[in-house]
Chain A
């Protein structure tokens, strides 16, 4: 399967998720255990993606580059906790990547 097939499968899955309580299941029939699980799923998967992403991004880097990369992400986390702006996180992440690749690595 290529990247397009994967994305179409993900698109279908997301569409079915969105239809869940509008077309498939009346909201009142939702088991409590399922609702509880939904609440934990997003932070769990995001944290898993972050830690796996950090490990992959800095594997094989010099120690100083690793420290700067992790430090940048900790700083971005502090900013994101204070100001709920995805745009700001995106901009800072891009700036961190440029800083590391254009100034530190080269």
Chain B
């Protein structure tokens, strides 16, 4: 078995090429919004989830309400709950401080990296997880910070929000493999802009609720047939 720290460094290097462009783009997008640079700088390590930060920043900039922003960020990050459930056995029996602090580092990249290292358990897992979590966090925060610094030097780009929309597209497509996911996405995608016509601040939330309901109904129908 390799040392946990050596494995962590290998995994940080492996995820960096995918993480940096996403972080820089997020930084550039945040720099163009009204949330402020401080929110961008602190948001990267504090939220530690690009999709949640992007959703919150985008909705804040559109003038959405508190409930919509928090609910959307939670919905976008709902998979973190599944990762939490999957990693729970490896956190079992760990010191209390680690069970409170360690989960902060759960992301797509760290979860998938840890899943690929099942040999690290107990104190070895603790050492691996803290190293990979801090390392990925440092790369991520630096990338977002670079984007925030770069943003103001770019010319005015009214369509820059297409970059964040493209990121959402990149996150959505792998989730469209299952029929229920496609139904949920299709219904949400149609309902959200229609609902936004009536209540601009609630369009995303209403669309999401409609999509979840449609996805659940499709799943029930599939099981019944």
A7 touches B42 (CB 8 A): yes
A18 touches B80 (CB 8 A): yes
Judged by a CB distance under 8 angstroms, whether B116 is at the interface is no
A7 vs B36: C-alpha distance in the bound complex, in angstroms?
Answer: 11
A101 touches B189 (CB 8 A): no
Question: Chain B contact residues: over half helix, strand or loop, or mixed?
Answer: helix
Judged by a CB distance under 8 angstroms, whether B21 is at the interface is yes
A7 touches B78 (CB 8 A): no
Judged by a CB distance under 8 angstroms, whether B192 is at the interface is yes
Interface residues of A in 25-63 (CB under 8 A from B): 26-27, 30, 35-57
Interface residues of B in 4-47 (CB under 8 A from A): 17-22, 24-25, 28, 33-36, 38-39, 42-43, 46-47
Chain A residues, Cβ within 8 Å of B99: 22-23
Judged by a CB distance under 8 angstroms, whether B48 is at the interface is yes
CB-CB under 8 A for A42 and B73, given A90-B170, A93-B162, A94-B163: no
Interface readout for B50-92 with A: 1 if CB under 8 Å, 0 if not? 0111011110101000100110111111111111110110010
* Residue in B38, B58, B158, B163 with the greatest tally of chain A CB atoms within 10 Å: B163
B159 touches A97 (CB 8 A): yes
Chain A residues, Cβ within 8 Å of B55: 45, 49
B158 touches A105 (CB 8 A): yes
How many of chain B's residues have a CB under 8 angstroms from any CB in A?
104
A77 vs B179: C-alpha distance in the bound complex, in angstroms?
Answer: 17
How many of chain A's residues have a CB under 8 angstroms from any CB in B?
71
Nearest CB on A from B67, distance (A): 11
A55 vs B181: C-alpha distance in the bound complex, in angstroms?
Answer: 22
Judged by a CB distance under 8 angstroms, whether A17 is at the interface is yes
Question: Chain A contact residues: over half helix, strand or loop, or mixed?
Answer: helix
**Extra inter-chain contacts (7) besides given A18-B80, A22-B102, A49-B55, CB under 8 Å:** A3-B34, A8-B42, A10-B43, A44-B184, A49-B58, A88-B170, A96-B159
Binding site for A on B (CB under 8 A): 17-22, 24-25, 28, 33-36, 38-39, 42-43, 46-49, 51-53, 55-58, 60, 62, 66, 69-70, 72-85, 87-88, 91, 99-100, 102-104, 106, 155-176, 180-182, 184-193, 196, 203-205, 207-212, 215-216, 219
